[in-house]
Copies of this chain bind each other. A is one copy, B any other.
């Protein structure tokens, strides 16, 4: 479709798209600007006109990931067909399966690579902050509905519950738990612990 014209026409989006594919294939480690340029059919340093850094490219991808993430989560949060309890359980299960199915992307979004860099875009931080704030709001709702313990501070509760899901996802993704850990059982156990009894 794309000819070898000097002006590519839509390089920015092509780069993002290619990087997205690349990540799904081989993880963040496998992403290199040069292979990326190769795949898009452009010269090695072309990307630098759109992304100051390799890191900024990754941040952009992560931000995109957060938006998709939020959309999918909202779909569960707003599903009126389920009871509050079931919705929370569904959320947990969705979190784990989504994280595992998109392991490489999850790694990008929550991984250290991006956040530790000092070049981490303010945009990304803002986006992630928004996602978390929404999480806090939902947590407050769930407390109101008696799904989560009402006694705890909503912010702390959101931090800890997210921590639990994040930690489990990480351990499963990284293969630190044995491979045959049944996700269903783990989700159930987590739900039992977190939810108000």
Residues of A in contact with B (beta carbons under 8 Å apart): 27, 107, 110-112, 115-116, 128-129, 132, 149, 151-153, 156-157, 159-171, 173-178, 181, 185-186, 188-190, 192-194, 197
Contact = CB atoms under 8 A, between A and B. Distances in A.
Given A107-B112, A161-B193, 20 more contacts: A27-B116, A110-B176, A115-B176, A116-B174, A128-B176, A129-B178, A132-B176, A149-B192, A151-B192, A152-B192, A153-B189, A156-B185, A159-B171, A162-B171, A163-B165, A163-B167, A163-B186, A164-B167, A193-B193, A193-B194
Contacts of A168: 159-160, 163, 167
A193 B110 contact: no
Query: For chain A, what secondary structure do more than half of its interface residues adopt (helix, strand, loop), or is it mixed?
Result: helix
A27 B116 CA distance: 10
B176 A160 contact: no
